[in-house]
Amino acid sequence: MKRFTLGTRTRVTLLGILALMFAAGCGSSTESIRNFSYVKVVNLGPQINSPYDDYSPFVSYDGKLLLFTSKRPAPGGIDQQDDLWMAKRSRTGWSMAEYMSGSINTENDEGAPFIDVSGQVVYFVECDAEDAVGGCDIYKARFVNGRLEQVQNLGKPINSEYWDSQPFVSNDGQYFLFASDRPGGFGGTDLYVSKKLRNGRWGKPRNLGPVINSNGDEKSPFLSPDGTTLYFASDGHGGVGGMDLMIALRNTRSRVWKWNEPVNIGTPINSAADELFFSVSAEEDTIYLASSREGSLGGLDIFAAFPNPYKDTTRYQWFIVGRVGDSVTATPLPGAMVRIYNRDSGEDVELATDRTGSYRFRIRPGSRLKLTAQANGYATRTLEVNIPRDLRFREYRKNILLPPGGKVKSAAASDEVALDSTALFVVHFDFDKANIRSDAARVLDKVIAILKEEPETEVYLDAHTDDMGTELYNLRLSRKRGAAVVRYFAAHGINRSRCKVTAHGEVLPAIPNQTEEAREKNRRVEIRFRIHSSASERDMP
């Protein structure tokens, strides 16, 4: 039975060199395969490899952990079977490989690991398990105190009665790619993709089509962080060996996934033998892969290739993006100035928003930023933004809304809150609910105190939901949440006419809806004030 011997997944991006290869008409013929003569491919040695097959390396996002599959006997055992092993990175290199503890390794075959960008969730494959849907199924586990526990079969529709293996989840968590020999394909094993549904489950897998899938075997998919480049192994597109690593660019003009003809990744990364399991960490200049080339200690060994010839495009690139707009009307403000100060490096830049009110600037995960936005006729607003270290997305979005008008009193951090047209109060809601929780009531009571002290002030409510459910349902739910806040204000003596509600549904999340914790933060109503100047103030020169 097929196990994990052929498969790969990568963490790379490609534009410049690959674009030239496509322009030159590079295809599957050996004459057109690019040779990177300066790249060295080195065996990782006996601390990682053994006299048995060692393959499917996957390097964690931070580059500190290497998971792989090995056929060597488990500690204290004599039988050869596929199990998951790991090595940790230090300043001096990789540690001696360790058998992975926890409930992940069993008497069955396990392999083809994938680590998500959080570093906490591992997808892998187990064959012939008691809860299996088919011969080999895809599972998920979580690190608990350094051990992989909470193992669960992904079930249908990802798994089938056939062979399903080599999982990969896109950087934004929205696409699940894998290899399968289920009926309906174009060759032996084909690549499939499943899109995450609004209820958080995976949708029906779709074959990637005949441009990617040949009459041979396609395996080990990897989608680049920006979603535009697919990496995989194939023996059906020609090349220099048996299985070669291939690259295909997505047609970004198409609304559906359409791919250009794949090209060979080039030598010496590919050789006359089999090359599989391409992997890189977020910043490293080294490619990890499995190969059966000359110099292996066993059949398949894990190798490092450096320098990475695609480094300029394979390195993860992150940006902070957003729009500057009017806090009352949400109208974009073209030409607004955004100052971005990095509190760690001291970098200080200033840029203007484009005609859509948008800004964009390259950042690094873990950065601590101070954003200051200003525009003519609006109050200046300053925000402190901490970029997560395990940033899942290529873009970190931060919209900035500026209040119209002149100076207002600053907001205090204590319970004695002063009026501020930039002040933002947020109340949260339970899943699929619109009732006011006790913690939300405490926040609303502070707002009520301000409104009673400032009778000329209006309150603007922006109501939101997470992405669970349909867009129409979530729009209606956000309206209910806004209405619930207005009712609470009215019950405490605030005239409803002072409350302006805008229901947004799911379209403006505070943070990406990738975890339950994130969805919790997106189930919210945001509250802002608008102060009206007196007639005498308006008439002042």
Q: What is the pLDDT of residue 11?
A: 32
Indicate the residue type of 22. Answer: F
Cis peptide bond upstream of 73, omega within 30: no
CA distance 271 to 368: 44
Supply the pLDDT for residue 255: 65
Residue 415 has what pLDDT?
36
**pLDDT recorded at residue 532:** 47
H-state helical runs in 259-346? 311-314
Which top CATH class is 408-541? alpha beta
| Per-position b or e across 402-438, b if 16+ CB within 10 A of its CB | bbeeeebeebeeeeebebbbbbebebbbeeeebebee
The pLDDT value given to residue 363: 82
CATH code for residues 317-406:
2.60.40.1120
CA distances from 291 to 46, 218, 275, 298 (A): 15, 16, 4, 10
- Residue owning tokens 């590919």: 270
Q: What separation in angstroms does the CA of 60 have from each of 10, 63, 219?
A: 11, 5, 20
426: helix, coil or strand? strand
* Distance from C-alpha of 21 to C-alpha of 209, rounded to nearest angstrom: 22
DSSP 161: S
Report d(CA 317, CA 366) in Å as an integer.
13
Cα 467 from chain centre? 16
- Spatial contact of 296 and 274, defined as CB atoms under 8 Å apart: no
Whether the Cβ atoms of residue 220 and residue 235 lie closer than 8 Å to each other: no
Cα 361 from Cα 489, distance rounded (Å): 40
3-state secondary structure of 231: strand
| pTM over cut 0.85 | no
Q: Give residue 211's pLDDT.
A: 94
Map residue 438 onto helix, strand or coil.
helix
Question: Angle 471-491/438-453 helices, nearest 10 degrees?
Answer: 60
| Residues of the chain scoring pLDDT < 50 | 1-2, 5-17, 19-20, 22-27, 406-423, 532-541
In the numeric block, which tokens belong to residue 367? Answer: 């950065």
Amino acid at 59: V
Query: Residues 280-305: pLDDT tens digits?
Result: 776 667 889 999 998 899 889 999 99
What sign does the CA torsion over 125, 127, 131, 132 have? positive
Task: For domain 16-314, say whether CATH 2.115.10 is its number.
Answer: yes
With contact defined as beta carbons under 8 Å apart, do 213 and 207 qualify?
yes
Domain extents in the chain? 16-314, 317-406, 408-541
The 3-state secondary structure of 245-271 reads EEEEEECCCCCCCCECCCEECCECCCC
Per-residue model confidence (pLDDT) at position 450: 82
Of 534, 535, 379, 532, give the one whose Cα is nearest residue 457.
532
Give the pLDDT confidence of 239-276 residue by residue, as tens digits: 888 899 988 888 877 666 789 999 998 999 999 999 99
Say yes or no: do domains 317-406 and 408-541 share a fold: no
CA distances from 161 to 51, 133, 172, 181, 457 (A): 33, 5, 28, 10, 64
